[in-house]
Structure 1
Amino acid sequence: QIKLFNQAISGAPYTALSVPLSLTADSVLSHDIHNYPDNIINMANQAGFQTFWLSSQSAFRQNGTAV
């Protein structure tokens, strides 16, 4: 099953910040990279799920970022 959300709002105007805000315990008001280890991918792995990261973006380009 897939969960769809209507009226969803991004936490940031660009992907490099929006994705971590969506998948971690980080927040816009108290941004701290130390919140990144508590993320949905690590929690799923710890619960025994096998996870995969799929992206259409290359790892690094001239203006690329590690997302």
Structure 2
Amino acid sequence: MSTSASEESWSADNRRTPDALLHSAPSRDVTPQDMVMATGRDVTPASLDWARRKLETEGAAAIEKLLP
């Protein structure tokens, strides 16, 4: 059983998924919908209003307070 030359030349690091591809972060500001979804609530007009108020008073850091 032989392996191709290209497979042999790969190091273990070349076969790993880069960390940046494993984790995601918003590339934009946190939206009210992001806030609602982070709490596990249904996206409704009432929950979006709650999230808008929270973002207005606490800013984007409000979502960090929701995380364990």
Q: Shared fold (TM-score greater than 0.5)?
A: no
- Which one has the bigger helix percentage? 2
Structure 1 length normalisation: TM-score? 0.25
Structure 2 length normalisation: TM-score? 0.25
Name the larger-Rg structure.
2
